[in-house]
Copies of this chain bind each other. A is one copy, B any other.
Amino acid sequence: MANIKKLEESEVFKSYFKNLTDRERAVFEGGITLGALFHQFVGTPVSLNNKESLEKAIEEAMKNQPCVEDIEVKIVGDFEEGKYVSLTGEMLNVKLKIRVNETIAILRLRYIEELDYPLMYVEKIE
């Protein structure tokens, strides 16, 4: 329906973000979504049996967050048949697209071997 508005489109909501440029807003919202995703799902039991349904559920859940236009989640690792592990940050490979007006930010969460750390960073802003 034409008059169903998302929370983020309300004037009150918008008033809290007037002090940010579109680029700043985009990386702020992207940061929230990456931090949320990591800390919500790390610990979840994962195996070959549920890897795909978990990837999909993470993507779909995160699309609810303000300004998320698209998101791709891959759970990477050597899974053994018949064995499950707890999801860790190191296993997450995420590509997140945030839109604020005409600004698009592409953000990443992925394990960086050189740092031995699952890094969240901004790949590009257009």
CA distance A88 to B88 in the complex (A): 8
- Contacts A39-B43, A63-B50 given; indicate if A82 touches B31 (C-beta within 8 A): no
Instruction: Tell me if A32 and B120 are in contact (CB < 8 A).
Output: yes
CA distance A57 to B49 in the complex (A): 11
Instruction: Tell me if B54 and A50 are in contact (CB < 8 A).
Output: no
Q: Which range holds the interface residue count of chain A? A: 35 or more
Asked if A53 CB lies within 8 Å of chain B CBs, one says yes
A residues 1-56 near B (Cβ < 8 Å) are 1, 4-7, 10, 12-13, 16-17, 19-20, 23-24, 27-47, 49-50, 53-54, 56
> Chain A interface secondary structure, helix, strand, loop or mixed?
mixed
Instruction: Tell me if A53 and B56 are in contact (CB < 8 A).
Output: yes
Asked if A62 CB lies within 8 Å of chain B CBs, one says yes
Question: A residues touching B (Cβ–Cβ < 8 Å)?
Answer: 1, 4-7, 10, 12-13, 16-17, 19-20, 23-24, 27-47, 49-50, 53-54, 56-58, 60-65, 81-84, 86, 88-89, 112, 114-115, 117, 119-122, 124-125
